[in-house]
Amino acid sequence: MIGIISAMQEEIQALLNKLQNISTSTKGMRTYYTGTLFGKNVVLVFSRWGKVASAVTTTQLINDFNIQELIFTGVAGAINSKLNIGDIIIGKKLFQHDMNASPLFEPFEIPLLERKFLETKNPTKLLNATNKFLESYTSYINPNEAKNFNITRPKVVYEDIASGDQFISSTDSIKRLNHILPTAYCVEMEGAAVAQVCFEYNIPFSIIRVISDKANNNATIDFPKFANSIASNYALGILKKYFD
């Protein structure tokens, strides 16, 4: 069984539309959808925003659904100038940018784990699937919708991600993140928490993020619309190639 999580239902709606043999269960105010997706047994759920919400959801998935792999997919804000709207980041190292238990521990270090970040493994298959998705991009993404969000030549990168319980929407915040975590390419609110739970339970995990904005003072897009028409279909295309 493969677990698939997003912070918003809009981010996985296209996957839900393709899910077959569906059964549902409600736990902790969340609905878990089990079924088959492109021939694979999966369970889909949206966690809600933030590190606590995603950690709770991930723990429930692992304990109740016997998953062997977890994939988190959703949107993120770019904090590296090389990224544009519509680009894809496959997470490499996941940092909690708001983790600071100093002077007891160094900044970013997770108490007792003795790690400042958690790292995904074996990205080759997912990167290949993402590149195949980009080769057939217009089969999944309406060109007019892409144009509406100023998406031109989307690309995929395998880079570090910063997570924290803050919505980053100012250039000052970006400068601060660039200073304290210079390798991070994007910022979001769940990935590093998912990574920590998966690490502690020894579950392989992947983080897929679609750049929806530049996390600055212009970060005013219609997030539900972007998630539903763009990010959700990115997830559909990438995971179809991945499961094939």
Per-residue pLDDT tens digits for 33-90: 999 999 999 999 999 999 999 999 999 999 999 999 999 999 999 999 999 999 999 9
Within-domain flag for 190: yes
Within-domain flag for 95: yes
Count of Cβ atoms closer than 10 Å to residue 180 Cβ: 14
Within-domain flag for 90: yes
The reported pLDDT for the residue numbered 218 is: 58
The reported pLDDT for the residue numbered 220 is: 55
The reported pLDDT for the residue numbered 221 is: 67
Range of the domain at 201: 74-243
Instruction: Report whether 192 contacts 94 (CB < 8 A).
Output: yes
Of the residues 10, 87, 188, 213, which is catalytic? 213
Which CATH number goes with the domain that contains 128? 3.40.50.1580
The reported pLDDT for the residue numbered 112 is: 93
Within-domain flag for 51: no
Q: What is the three-class DSSP state of 20?
A: strand
The reported pLDDT for the residue numbered 98 is: 96
Regions of the chain with pLDDT less than 70: 215-221
How many domains would you assign to the chain? 1
Q: Does the annotation mark 11 as catalytic?
A: yes
pTM: 0.95
Q: Does the annotation mark 213 as catalytic?
A: yes
Within-domain flag for 36: no
Whole-angstrom distance, CA of residue 7 vs CA of residue 166? 14
The reported pLDDT for the residue numbered 167 is: 85
Within-domain flag for 167: yes
Q: What is the CA radius of gyration of the chain?
A: 17
Whole-angstrom distance, CA of residue 43 vs CA of residue 14? 14
The reported pLDDT for the residue numbered 217 is: 59
Q: Exposed e or buried b for every residue in 183-199, given b needs 16+ CB within 10 A?
A: ebbbbbbbbbbbbbbbb
Of the residues 10, 11, 109, 188, which is catalytic? 11
Continuous H helices in 149-210 = 171-180, 191-201
Within-domain flag for 168: yes
Within-domain flag for 38: no
**CA torsion angle 240 157 74 123 (round to 10):** 60
The reported pLDDT for the residue numbered 170 is: 87
Q: How deeply is 108 buried, as exposed, middle or buried, from its count of CB atoms within 10 A (0-12, 13-18, 19+)?
A: buried
